[in-house]
Every structure is written in structure tokens, then in C-alpha cells.
Amino acid sequence: MSGPKIACIGIIGKADNPLHISLFPPYLNSTVEFSFLLNSCLDIFEIRQKQTSVDQDLGLLHAVDEKLAAYGWLTTTGVKLLVIIDLIGQPVPNSMGKQKGSPRTGSKDPDLKPVFRALQTAYIRLLQNPFYSPDDHVPTIKAAAPTSNSLQITDHEFIAEVRNIGETWVLDATIL
């Protein structure tokens, strides 16, 4: 048996610059593919903002293929939280499969609100850090050739929290 799992978490700034991207096994070496996928999700954010008043939870942005699906959340400050789910996932231990009494498949639309709330809480904690300046992560025109790493979040506690959220999420989880 297998269950859905998080393949990638992306935190995208209000200027559509990637602030943080976490990849999870077995996708650790797929940085370019997931960067492209996250970038394509930004177009969907923009379309939904123009068409309707956007709720924080945008739900399913698009199904990439039969295996991957992208979900989005928009903060009130314009920061975008993206989670890409591997719908096929990884093997589930027998004890977990027997608890629910039914096999897990990727057909159920996962409730990712706990994941997005946990990510938003981690980001808020980062903003409360007096040594973190969010303005340092906004691309400027003055910078002739900024390196992509200079604009990314490097706070170890935040990165560890995002990694923990991605590794511990399971379908039907209500608390992370």
C-alpha cells in the first residue's frame, strides 16, 4: 500500500522570487523540474487573482500528471505557499493501513490546510526574528546580476521547520 506524500514545498515572495524550496525523497535531485513547476503555478495565482477575490486556500492549482498535483495558498502579504503532492507516494506501514480499515489511494483530494497553516506559522515566526529582514529577499533592479541564493531564506530553524512539515504530513492529518 502507498499513500500521498509531499514531494516539494515552495515559498515564493510577493515579487514572484523563490524564497525557499524544499524537495523530499525521491525527488532530491529534481531541483530544475520542480523550479519550473513552481514557476508555472505562479501564472495560475495571477489568473485567479484577476478573476475573483482570492481566498487564502487556492486548493488544487493543477494536476501535473497522474502522479503529481500542485496546491497553493496565498498569504495576506502576497507571499505564496506551494505544496506539490506525490499522489502515489511511498509505502505505508501495515499498522497505519489497518487503523483506517481501507487502502489509501491518490484519488482523494488531500486536505492541506494544516500544512499551509503550519507553513504560514513558520513564516510568521521567521518574520518575528529581529535578525531576519524580509526586504533583503526582494529582488531589486539595482543589482546587476544577483545570485539566486542571495535572495533565499537561510534561517536554519525555518528550513528545519519546513522540512519537518514536509516529512511528517500524512493524508487526513489535522495537526502538524
SS3 content of the chain, % helix, strand, coil (to 5): 35, 25, 40
Reported pTM: 0.79
Q: Count other C-beta atoms under 10 Å from residue 157's C-beta.
A: 11
Residue 173 confidence (pLDDT)? 56
How many H-runs (helices) and E-runs (strands) does the chain carry?
4, 5
Residue 111 confidence (pLDDT)? 82
Residue 64 confidence (pLDDT)? 87
Nearest to 62 by CA among 71, 54, 53: 71
Please tell me the CATH code under which domain 2-168 is placed: 3.30.450.70
Could you tell me the residue ranges of all domains in the chain? 2-168
Report the amino acid identity of residue 67. K
Please give the Cα distance from 93 to 106 (Å, whole number). Answer: 16
Residue 167 confidence (pLDDT)? 92
**Degrees, nearest 5: CA angle 100-24-35:** 125
Mean pLDDT, consecutive 10-residue stretches, the chain (176 aa), reads: 85 92 92 92 84 75 90 90 88 47 46 92 92 68 50 88 92 58
